[in-house]
Structure formats: structure tokens, C-alpha cells
Structure 1
Amino acid sequence: MDYQVIKENDLFLLTNNRGDVRPDDDLILGLFTDDTRFLSRFDVLVENLEMILLSSRVSHDFIGRVKLTNKELVENHEVKVWRESINLERKRFISQGVLYEQLLFRNYNIHSVPLSVRVDADSDFAHMFTVRGYEDSAHGEFLPVESLTDGVRFSYNGKDGVKRRTHLQASPAPTDITADGSLRFLFELAPQGTHEIMLTVVPEIDGKQGVVQDPTLALAELKASYEEWQSEITEVITDNSAFNALYKRSTHDMFALLTNLGDGRFPTAGVPIFAVPFGRDSLIAAWQMAAVHPEIMRGTLKTMARHQGTKIDPWREEQPGKILHEIRYGELANLGVIPHAPYYGSIDSTPLFLVLAAEYFDWTGDESFLRELLPNLEAALAWIDQYGDRDGDGFVEYYQESSKGCANQNWKDSGDSMVHRDGTLAKAPLAPSEVQGYVYDAKLRLARLFELLGLGEKADRLRSSASQLKSQFADAFWMEDQQYVAMALDENKAHVGSVSSNPGHCLLSGILTDDQARKVADRLLSDDLFTGYGIRTLSASEKAFNPMSYHNGSIWPHDNSLIVMGLKKYGFHEHADRVMEGLIDAAAHFAYDRLPELFCGYSREDEDPVPYPVACSPQAWAAGTPLTFVRVMLGLMPTVADGVIRISPSLPKGLNTMQVRNLRVGNGSLDLLIQKYNDSHTTWKVLRNTTGLQVISG
């Protein structure tokens, strides 16, 4: 990675590897919250020495560290400061809405060294969409930079009437403050001595700002929050060090990406571009976390229910019962320049909302919450049949109605992702195959829940509708020539026939016949789709294939995780194990033992995994992928209402022992031990069970 990111709640800092934010950098750098950049420059310079980078790393609990040292300083042919004799360590973290950065200078010379240190800062208060180049700035009023005794204040009165401020303070106070907001520090660094400068940056929105604390206390609170999180989640220990590192990184990343809008914690999509609520991403990431922290599903469901569509608004693509796609904040959203407040242009968020509700109930048996959510569930089901299927053909399709909305509204939402075999783009209305699967799964699951709630007639109607959909799907989407499922149906109900990963999601939903499932599973693991590291989004045999493309040949870990769950569901254990093996191996090639949002779809035979240039990292459903693997390896299917937990373990190559502790199901938790003796013999043992549920093979 050529950048460093730290995050806590809704505030995150993205810098280059030297720890700086520079306007001329190609990356989207800065300090962001509320979809607004509160630092557009943050540059630490040692003016009288040239510094070089030694190391740059972010710890599991999102504490960033950068180490630099000096080049040799020569004056009049005399060495004044030997090379590598001055060390600068930048240590930064975020706590309660405040950025803290410690600059620690250390002198390894036997003589003193004078230093002139300058901190250049600025705030452009640009909206994230402006930073990304999608929209022009709203052009509010920038106020003059204010010099304070210990720092500076940047101020902006937005066109939306919101006052935004950035406070930069230093301890000890700077020697000098320039008119444009630079802080200068002049000091003598004693022989073998140290000198510390503590910087704090506080964003302020209409008078609301973070709580500035003693840095030591703030850091202790941050670390304590991660320790508390670790005590809450499922602990997994295996004999595979690569998987252990991947799992640990993923749980920490997911915690950093959680936020709370008042209805409980839920995952935002990813840093830097998508650190906001996303319907599809948040719902899938919460689903991936079921075996790690099931309560996150509840917070996600409540958040989505609160923002569920209530009216027809083409600008925001809102309809009654529809679940949001994305919420944006800040000036452009407040002014209505962009439709994302919230925006509803997603075809799959609504059925995924229903699937997650059923998943949550299976893990917790929380009937009171299910009854509370019932009006939202019924509204979502009504949206599927009324607005999702406007032409009444039995399939859910999407259209783009907003001029600034998404052209493609399934998970492959780039403009060129829905492509015919001849390379031409498919035209809307489009009915993606995986979405029909989500709808089928949602109706079948909700039928069971409605029956438990005493709503027998509604349950019967849902089962009948799901059965009809499965039958129609088998006829309409199956491509005889490819013996595979079409990516979608186009405006003429013709196949969008490119061989893609989309049908892998249909395994997860159970919409495929057993014969179709076998053929899809085998094709997914064929050389044109499976690289050895993961399943490509598009087959290498297609005209539109490009291993560097966002959706037409790349590998998305989350896509693979849903496919793996589907393979396991149909009993294709070896297929699932191969995909997990590939992704575990791939993760070891990326920074921080972290799976990125996506990576390029080159074959494993050709080279190591190739990073995608602008992938989000960390990203929620990529972080959720190893968490999904835990439930797949266990073959875990809890149904609290039935009083049972089914387990059918299968471990991939290189992993022979798995201990699972504090796996929460219902009102208790489990400890399990899984041991693989050979490819055909895996045993499991319950070490502790406080759930009151029976654990059985299945």
C-alpha cells in the first residue's frame, strides 16, 4: 500500500506513507468526516535536514506509525550532522472525534543539533464527491485563517448554512505561525536527547466537535475499545498462521468500520471513498459477521428500517418499502446537488434486507425484534412485487431514473459491467440473475418466519410465489449452449450471456436445481473463472474480459465469500475449500495481511496477486470474507426456533485444527474443536455449550 489510513467511528485520516497530506498527490488524501475534508494539507518538514522514510505501518488497533531519518548534512565540506543520526517518529491515532499526532525527535549524535520544523496545514472543506472529481464545489465562504496562541483555525461557511471549522493545536506552542496557517518550531535537540511535539486536530460542524483529552488517556481509551471488541467476538485459533493473521486483521478492520446512527452498530462500506452507510454493502457485511458478532445484524437492520423508502421520488429513486443504496452527508447532499440523502438506486438492498432479517432470527431467536420489524418486512415484500417487478413478468428489474444515479444497480454497479458476449453493453431494464436468487431466498425464509408469527396465509402465498419464481428462473435464465446461468435478462428478455460470477450467488440462495447447481459449481472452478487465488467476476473467455477491470475480470473477495457459502449449501465441500485456500494464500501477498476490496484477475500460474490500483482498504465486505469462512469451515447452520445447531465441518488444505470460542447463538455461546485427520475424516467436539440448544451433525 502506498498510503496509510487510520479511522475511528466517522473520522478518518488518509495520508501518504510518509504521513503527509499533500495537494499534489494522486491519492484521495486528507482528514474526513461528514463526507467533508477537514484537512487538505498536513505536511511535516524538517527544514534544515532532508528526511527519508524508514517504515510506515498501522497497527491492528489503527494506530499509525511512521519512522524517518536524515540524510547527511554537509556545510563547507564539513559534516555537520551524520546520516541516520536523527530519528523522527510520527505516531497518530483518532479518539472521540479528535486526531492526535505525536512528533518524537531523537538525537543519536554526541553533540546537540538545532532543528527547524514546520507543519504546513490547510482545509479546503471539499465534499467527497468534489475530491473524487464528480461534482464542482458548492463555493461557500472561506474565512481568513485565525492564528491562535497554540495553533490555527481554518473556517468555512457553507452554502448550505453549515459552519465548518478545523482547529490545529500544538504543545508546546509553535515558535512562529505564518499567515497561511503554517506552524514553525525552533529547538535544540540535546546530545542523545529527545523532543516531543503533540499536535491535535479537531473538526467542528456547527459548533459540534470531538472531545480533546490528555493524549495518554485518549490512547488508552482507544486500545480499551479494541480489547472490549475482542472479548465480544468469536475467537478462532487454527494451526494455519496465515489464516490466524487474516482473521485477526479482519476483525479489527470490521470494528474500525462500524458506526452508529442511533439504532445500533453497523458496518460502513469502506475507506476512503465509501465510509458511509451502504444498503447492499452494510447488509452483506453484517451477514458475513453472523458467526462472529450476531448483534451487528440487528443494528444494521434497524438502521435500514429507519431509512426505508416511504414515497415516490425519482430524483432519489425512492419508492415505498425500498431499502436505501447509500447515504451521503455534507454540503452537496444538504443542498440537493447529489441525490444521496439518502439515495435508493439499488435493486438488491431490499431482498438482502429480508434475507438478513431471517438470518438474524435463525441466530438469535429474537421474536420480539422480528415483530417490531414486521411492518418493514411487509413493506419490503410489497416493493419487490409492485415496484421491483413493474412489468409483472415475475422478475425484479432495475431502471435508472435519477440523472445523477447509478446506471447499473446490482452489486456490479460500474457502467460497463452488464455486457453481452459480443462485448456490447446490455440495456435496462435489466434483471440480474443473483437478484432473482435473493428474492427467492427472501420469500422462502420469510414464509417460515410468518408461519412462526401466526401469519399462515401470508406464508403460503410467499411459498407459492417462491416456487413459481424458481420454475420461471430455470427456464428463463439457463443457457443451454453454455450449460450455465445468464448474468441477466436485458430489455428484450434476452440473455446477457457473458459467463460471470453472478450465478455463484444463485447457489447461496438455493434457486438452482441440483443439476444446474452442479454445472455452475464446476464452471466456477474452471480455469477461465478460477485463477487459483479466487473466482473472477467475468470469464477469461469473454470478449469483455480484462483482468484489470473493476467488474469484468477482477477478483472480489466478498463475491467469492457468497459463492463459497453457496457451494457449501449445495454440498460442494471440495469446491468451497479450493476457493478459501486461494484467498487465504492471496491475503498473505497484500499489506497488513488484509484482503482488499478487489484485486486483478491474473492467473496464479502467471504471477502473485496483483493489486487493483484504487481498491478500498480496509473495506467491509472484504474484511467480512474471512469471517464468512469460519461458518463455512464449520458448516454451521443454527435455527434457534427449532432448538438445534447443525454442524458439518470441512477444513481447507493447510488447516487441520480449529478451535472456536465464544461462538454466540441464541442466549448463550459455544466452544468447539475441529480436527482434520485426512481429506476424508474430520471430527468435531463441543467443549462448552451454554446455548440450551442441541448441536447435531447436518
Structure 2
Amino acid sequence: MESTNDAALQTRYVLKDGDSFLVANSLGNVVSLSEGLFIQDTRILSTYQLLLGDQEPALLSAAVTQDNVLFVAHMTNRALSAIDEMGAPEGLIHLTRSRFLCKERIFERITCVNYGARPARLPLRFKLAADFVDMFEVRGSKRSARGRLFESETGDWGYGFRYEGLDRVVRTSSVLFSRTPRFLEPGLLELMVALDPGGSDELYIEIGATPEGAPTRERYRNEASTARRRMRRRQRRGARVASGGPLFDQWMRRSRSDLALLTSELETGPYPYAGIPWFSTPFGRDAVITALQTLWLDPALAKGVLSFLAKHQAKEDSPFLDAAPGKILHETRKGEMSTLKELPFGLYYGGVDTTPLFIALAGAYLRRTGDVETIESLWPALLAATQWIERVCDSDPNGFLVYVRGTDLGLANQGWKDSGDAVFHADGRLAEGPIALVEVQGYVYAALRTMAELGESRDPDAAERWSRRAEELRIAVEKLFWMEDAGYYGMALDGAGELCAVRTSNAGHLLFVGLPSPERAASVAEQLMSPAFFSGWGVRTVARGESRFNPISYHNGSVWPHDSALCAFGMARQGVRGAANRLLRGAFEAAVHFDMRVPELFCGFARTQGAPPVAYPIACLPQAWAAGSGLMLLQACLGVEIDGDSQTIHVHRPELPQGIQDVAITGLAVGEHRVDLVFRKVGSRVAAFLDADDSGQVSLQIRN
């Protein structure tokens, strides 16, 4: 059997709906170890390959529609048998493969057209398999035993697969066709399509956890309408960005489309799953940061994130789950390995930063919306989260929030840089816990200040204590993390109190929360934009020249778009607006090279004239906080802050993206009203004004 080896086939195309997602190649085939249809962290389809006879068709083009609903591949035949009345020379048959995911089910249509002058018979063959492996097995985890995989079952309309896990749960899947296939051998079936000259025919296929009867054209059309309608509803939520730059607008639209794709409608509201393929599940940290990135445009996402995380807040101690009362969820999984507790990730709390970030998001949400009612409902969760932070800080000699994993199965590092080698000393030694990360102390500072603000009317004594603790923490960070010789903050303190004297992007997050003094903030900003950090595309996670620096590592020299955006927002907050604009330009130009879809991360090589950014081979694409990074970068440049309570939009020293003359934020919710906020270049200045404010209740305050 021949196989197409075109470089284009290395591209992966993703569809998602709810707790299901599909990863396939450019032909629409599922053939590699990282591809498949996954539902609730289990791969229910591991091979799905369309063949014409004994070979794959030739690829013409492949794409997912801009709304992220429909995958379409155009293909043609290689020569089919001999060139006689029943064969077809190469390139005379056009195949269109169209598919979408709706209600966690694949709906597919294959259209065949004969452009030849003779009749043709097309042997459409399908290779099928379902291995029911857990997502962690796909990622490389080894299991000592697995459940029972039954032989596949044939029926009038296709194949059925069944697996009984060690958790006693029976998982099934089916692949059904709109006409009865001929079964050639286990896992291989054929449908013969006869085409007259100029003739066409259609085949419909459905794949899901359960059989729903023979596929039909009518059901395909109805479910396609449902899928588009649901996606449009998600994409229309929140304000929109439009500018005079077509490519820039395309990036903004793709970012919003990716966020809509990754967002699942849960009982608690909308929630952005972290990324596909490895993290298509609720993550705490990722969702909170994504909500912060999009808060100015779509507060509803933040409300959904806060509600979900409060609902799943830890109630008891569990070293296996790294849980403690008040702690906020790191991630949740539904696969067999998590159910059996072979791994702790069913409800896992091994993230040291998610809890303070949760509190900080609540405060930011209240300032943005004035929604006191939601904060009142969250108050018990916010109190419990703060109490956990205070207990941990009280146990540390320096009063810092530290982490050490409960068991060897948990994450060794529990900040956002959670690789095993991500926290280290200047000589390259790995840090040993308990570890206090510098950016985490910044998040705690923000959380304590938030609680002080929220507590003024609820518990004045506690509010005063939280305010005092925030200031004490700020002083301790300035004293113990600052490296005078380097003019920069160290990455972490290890369990022995020794500073990891390494320059990393972590310090940029201190600017985001406003902890450093103005002089130190300026020094950090200057270095973040130096060649040691700024690659030309974004901020490296580790400065070039530091130990363990490696531009192709996961966390030690690569560029993460969300990290760059947080640093940029922090620099803009400190008045370094030009740096944010340079980072926005670099991110936009990187997005152009990545077909407007910014990946989870890419390599940290220095930008070279005429060369694209270097992709990281196993990065998630799409990834929620990568998709949200452009929106945060734009906010940083425009200098927009919204006070929902006073119904005031504050704009501070706005700058437009390079080459863009105007930007409009339409349908911006401010209190109970919606307005259009317009920025326009006037000479050397940027003017800002409100348009379509029929209420007259929203005010705009501009500081230059």
C-alpha cells in the first residue's frame, strides 16, 4: 500500500464539541499516534483512513472554515487500475470530504465527481480501528494492565467497537455509512461508487460513541445548521474588534474563533478548555488567565470560570490529589486512568498559583462589571481560598506561598512552568522544595489586595489584615528576590532559602500585578525588551546566556504568547507603552506565519530577516491563552480599563498597532449599556471617542 508523504500531510486539523475533539491529517485521515477522535479523555477512534483502492487519494487542499465548524479536504485520484472503460487516469476524479462535530458526533459527507469522458467505478475503502486508550497513554504513560478490547462487530451499516475498562465501564464507538458496505477483512471495508461521465455521488458517514441509525443527507444538513448556530452564538458573545488592517482583523477574528471553539457550555457557564490535543479539559490556571485576557471584551467568560472553579474548590486534604481545603482546581480528567487513580488528575489541585489567580480574577471581574451579586455568591469560596493561602504563607519562614508535591505521581513543579527542569539555579542545579516562585508571590500580593478591597464592607478587621499582609509580602519580595548586580528579580527561592539567581520571564508578571517599585519595574522592562529576552517574535521564558537556556525547550528559552502578553500588559501598566506595541507587532507577524493561529508556544530562536518563527513540534494548537494573548496585547496598547460600577471607560496614553490608523471596539458592555469605542490616528496623536452611545450614561476619561 502506498502512502502520501507530502509535507502538507504533517498539518493537523482539529474539530471540537463539548468533551469531544478530533485530530486528523490534511486528507482527513486518522493514521498517526497523536490523532483520533477523543471523548472524555478516551480515544474511541484510532484509525480512520480513506483509500481509493489500495492507495490514498492525492491532496489538493485542506482547511477548516473560519468559524471552526467545518473541515473540508479536496482530493483527486491517482490512476485507478488500467485506463479502460471502468478505470480512470490520474486527476479525473474529484473528491470532497466535508465533516463537522456536533453533539460529540462526527458527521461526514464524501462527494465524488467524475470529470472524465468515460464511466468510472471508485472502490472507496476505509480502514477502521478503535483502541480506547486513555489520553495519558497517548502522551506516553505506561500501564501494567488494560481492560478487555472486544472484536469489532459488523452490521448492515458499518462497524461497532467495544472496550471494557479496568474501571468496569464499557466504552463503545461506531462508524456508520449511508449505504451497506462490503467487509473485506477485519478493520477494512469497501463501498463501490459508480460514476457516469460528468456524474456525481455522495456518501454520508457518522461516528460517535453510540449508533444512531443509518446516516442520511437530511440529518447531515440539519446537524450542520445546529453546529453553525451554536458556534455563532459563542462567537457573538462580547465586544468585537475591527480596524483598518485586513490582516490584523483576520488575526483578531481567528483568535475569537479559536476561543469559541475551545469554550464549552457547562452548567456553571462558559468555560475555555486549555488546548488541543493534550489539554482539552478544564484547567484552572489556563482558564483564569484566558478570562483575564478577554475580560475587557467578554466578562461572561470570567463569570463562568469563577463559578466552575468555586464549585470544584477542594474541601479536604489529599496528598494524592495535592488538595487542601480552599485550594482551587488545577485540572480535571474523565479517563480510565484518572478514574482508577493510576494518576491523580481526576480532580487535581497541584497548581500553586491558581488559587491566588482565582481571587485576583474575582476582583478584576467586579471592577469590570460592578456585579456585586456574583461576588456575594463567591464570597465563601474567596474566603476559603484566602485562608488556604494564609495557612501556607504562615508555615513559610519568609511568609511566601510555596509548593511541594504530595506524591511522586503529582507535578514536581507547580507554577505555570511545570516541566521537571523548569526551576533551577544559576549553575544549572535543579531547585528542591518547598519552592517559592517569584511570580506566585506577585499573584498573592494581588489576591490579598483584592480581598482587602472586597472585605472593607464585609469584614473591616480582616480587610486591614489582608492589606497589611500584602504590603509585608511586597517588602519581602523586594528584599529577597531582587538581584542588585543584575538589576532583576530571581526566579525562585528553594527549600533552603537559596535564590535561583536566573533571569526569566517570571519577573515580568510582577509588573502585571504592580508589585515592583517604579525604578525596578523600569529595569525589568528594559531587560525584557533586550536581545537576551526579546526574540523579535516575543519574550523568551529564560534569558539567552543563562544556564539551561535552550530555545527548543518547553519552558527554558521558548516563547509563550500568553507569557509575552502578561509581560506586555505589565510594562504598559508601568507606562512603557511602546514595549507593548513592539510585542504586539512581533506577535502579529508571528501569527501571520502561523496562518493566524498562534500556537501554545514556539521556539526562542532570534528572528532572522525573511525567516519565519520556528514551530515547537508538539505544541497545542489551538490553545486558549495563546488565542487570548492578542486581545490582551491590544488592550495593553490601547490603554483601556473599564469601571463597570461608575460606567466609565478609562483610556491612558493609547497607541495603535503599527500600520493601523483606526480601531473600533463595537458592542462593548459597560454596566447595563453597550457602546462602540473608537480609536483614530490624528497626526502624531491617537484620539479616542464613544460612538453609538444612545444612553448617554457611559463616560470616557482620557489621560495622555
- Fold in common (TM above 0.5): yes
Q: Which amino acid aligns with 1:160?
A: D
Aligned to 1:121, what secondary structure does the other structure show?
strand
Counterpart for residue 237 of structure 1: 242
Counterpart for residue 603 of structure 1: 606
Work out which of the residue numbers 130, 136, 142 in structure 2 matches 1:129.
Answer: 136
Say if 1:670 and 1:691, in contact at 8 Å, map to a contact too.
no
Q: After superposition, where does 1:390-469 map in structure 2 within 5 Å?
A: 390-451=395-456, 453-469=457-473
CA distance in 2, matches of 1:622, 1:350: 21
Say if 2:551 and 2:605, in contact at 8 Å, map to a contact too.
yes
- Give me the TM-score of the superposition, normalised by structure 2: 0.94
Counterpart for residue 144 of structure 1: 151
Work out which of the residue numbers 126, 147, 153 in structure 1 matches 2:160.
Answer: 153
Say if 2:123 and 2:191, in contact at 8 Å, map to a contact too.
yes
The total of aligned residue pairs comes to 688
1:666 shift after superposition: 2.0
CA distance in 2, matches of 1:522, 1:691: 42
1:604 shift after superposition: 1.1
1:185 shift after superposition: 0.2
Say if 1:147 and 1:179, in contact at 8 Å, map to a contact too.
no
Aligned to 1:352, what secondary structure does the other structure show?
helix
Q: Cα deviation per residue 1:438-491 (whole Å; 9 max; x = unaligned)? A: 11011112211222x332222111111111111111111100110001111112
Greater CA deviation, 61-70 or 553-562? 61-70
CA distance in 1, matches of 2:55, 2:172: 33
1:230 shift after superposition: 3.4
Cα distance, 1:566–1:619 mapped onto 2, change above 3 Å: same
Q: Which amino acid aligns with 2:605?
A: Y
Counterpart for residue 194 of structure 1: 200
Greater CA deviation, 213-222 or 47-56? 47-56
Counterpart for residue 21 of structure 1: 30
Aligned to 1:670, what secondary structure does the other structure show?
strand
Cα distance, 1:340–1:584 mapped onto 2, change above 3 Å: same
1:240 shift after superposition: 2.1
CA distance in 1, matches of 2:666, 2:594: 28
Say if 1:388 and 1:398, in contact at 8 Å, map to a contact too.
no
Q: Give unpaired runs (5+ residues) of structure 2.
A: 1-9
Say if 1:242 and 1:585, in contact at 8 Å, map to a contact too.
no
Aligned to 1:154, what secondary structure does the other structure show?
strand
Q: Which amino acid aligns with 2:222?
A: L
Counterpart for residue 47 of structure 2: 41
Counterpart for residue 565 of structure 2: 561
Say if 1:286 and 1:296, in contact at 8 Å, map to a contact too.
yes
Cα distance, 1:76–1:2 mapped onto 2, change above 3 Å: closer
CA distance in 2, matches of 1:79, 1:314: 68
Cα distance, 1:74–1:156 mapped onto 2, change above 3 Å: closer
Counterpart for residue 7 of structure 2: none
Say if 1:36 and 1:125, in contact at 8 Å, map to a contact too.
yes
Counterpart for residue 8 of structure 1: 17
Counterpart for residue 283 of structure 2: 278
CA distance in 1, matches of 2:82, 2:233: 54
CA distance in 2, matches of 1:348, 1:355: 11
CA distance in 1, matches of 2:426, 2:574: 28
CA distance in 1, matches of 2:509, 2:60: 44
Counterpart for residue 682 of structure 2: 677
Q: After superposition, where does 1:225-374 map in structure 2 within 5 Å?
A: 225-374=230-379
1:80 shift after superposition: 4.6
Aligned to 1:382, what secondary structure does the other structure show?
helix
Structure 1 runs of 4+ aligned residues shifted over 6 Å read 76-79, 210-213
Q: Does 1:656 align with 2:665?
A: no
Greater CA deviation, 505-514 or 415-424? 415-424
Counterpart for residue 127 of structure 2: 120
Counterpart for residue 384 of structure 1: 389
The percentage of counterpart residues that share the same residue type is: 36
CA distance in 2, matches of 1:309, 1:269: 20
CA distance in 1, matches of 2:347, 2:101: 27
Say if 1:266 and 1:286, in contact at 8 Å, map to a contact too.
no
CA distance in 1, matches of 2:266, 2:642: 29
CA distance in 2, matches of 1:93, 1:389: 52
CA distance in 1, matches of 2:583, 2:646: 31
Q: Which amino acid aligns with 2:470?
A: A
Work out which of the residue numbers 57, 67, 78 in structure 1 matches 2:63.
Answer: 57
CA distance in 2, matches of 1:332, 1:605: 44
Work out which of the residue numbers 216, 224, 248 in structure 1 matches 2:221.
Answer: 216
Q: Cα deviation per residue 1:180-215 (whole Å; 9 max; x = unaligned)? A: 24331012111111111110001149x9xx999711
1:48 shift after superposition: 6.0
Aligned to 1:260, what secondary structure does the other structure show?
strand
Greater CA deviation, 477-486 or 225-234? 225-234
Output the aligned Cα RMSD: 2.1
Say if 2:584 and 2:634, in contact at 8 Å, map to a contact too.
no
Counterpart for residue 530 of structure 1: 534
CA distance in 1, matches of 2:241, 2:300: 18
Q: Which amino acid aligns with 1:92?
A: R
Work out which of the residue numbers 99, 107, 117 in structure 1 matches 2:114.
Answer: 107
Aligned to 1:144, what secondary structure does the other structure show?
coil
- Give me the TM-score of the superposition, normalised by structure 1: 0.95
Q: After superposition, where does 1:475-554 map in structure 2 within 5 Å?
A: 475-554=479-558
Aligned to 1:287, what secondary structure does the other structure show?
helix
Aligned to 1:81, what secondary structure does the other structure show?
coil
Q: Which amino acid aligns with 1:51?
A: P
Q: Give unpaired runs (5+ residues) of structure 1.
A: none
Greater CA deviation, 74-83 or 655-664? 74-83
Cα distance, 1:418–1:289 mapped onto 2, change above 3 Å: same
CA distance in 2, matches of 1:45, 1:507: 55
CA distance in 1, matches of 2:452, 2:696: 26
Cα distance, 1:264–1:50 mapped onto 2, change above 3 Å: closer
CA distance in 1, matches of 2:183, 2:344: 41
CA distance in 2, matches of 1:474, 1:280: 25
CA distance in 2, matches of 1:228, 1:316: 36
Cα distance, 1:48–1:539 mapped onto 2, change above 3 Å: closer
Counterpart for residue 579 of structure 2: 575
Q: After superposition, where does 1:609-624 map in structure 2 within 5 Å?
A: 609-624=613-628
Q: Which amino acid aligns with 1:202?
A: G
Aligned to 1:526, what secondary structure does the other structure show?
coil
CA distance in 2, matches of 1:538, 1:120: 45
CA distance in 1, matches of 2:289, 2:142: 29
Aligned to 2:645, what secondary structure does the other structure show?
helix
Counterpart for residue 95 of structure 2: 88
Q: Cα deviation per residue 1:483-520 (whole Å; 9 max; x = unaligned)? A: 00111111222211111111000000111011110000
Say if 1:283 and 1:353, in contact at 8 Å, map to a contact too.
yes
Say if 1:10 and 1:275, in contact at 8 Å, map to a contact too.
yes
CA distance in 1, matches of 2:345, 2:458: 38
Greater CA deviation, 74-83 or 122-131? 74-83
1:225 shift after superposition: 2.0
Counterpart for residue 636 of structure 1: 640
Q: Which amino acid aligns with 1:638?
A: I
Q: Which amino acid aligns with 1:441?
A: A
Aligned to 2:320, what secondary structure does the other structure show?
coil
Greater CA deviation, 272-281 or 363-372? 363-372
Q: Cα deviation per residue 1:150-171 (whole Å; 9 max; x = unaligned)? A: 1111111222121211021111
